[in-house]
Structure 1
């Protein structure tokens, strides 16, 4: 994450990845959310957002 300048923010995945969740909780100000439970408030309060391709497709499907 440091390589892409990601010091704090939100990581959005298609489904729950327990290893990612457990790893991210050890990093201050980094949060993980599933695409299906993503809220606008999370997006607004995040400095940066990383979205997986699968999560982006899930978000697009839920909005169409």
Structure 2
């Protein structure tokens, strides 16, 4: 059983600005799909990475 009905999801997807979503995904993928960043995430303990994650979110995505 899905969380939302397909018609509700489609309705909300139509309201999204494709240019804004594309730009946000480019910023996201540039950072999080970087192999060096991925290795850093994998090698860090969760507690260590929480602060880094929040800082990176603020500086790279605002």
Short-chain TM bin: under 0.3
TM normalised by structure 2 equals 0.23
TM normalised by structure 1 equals 0.22
Greater relative contact order (CA < 8 Å, ≥ 6 in sequence): 1
**Structure with larger Rg:** 2
Select the structure that is richer in strand.
1
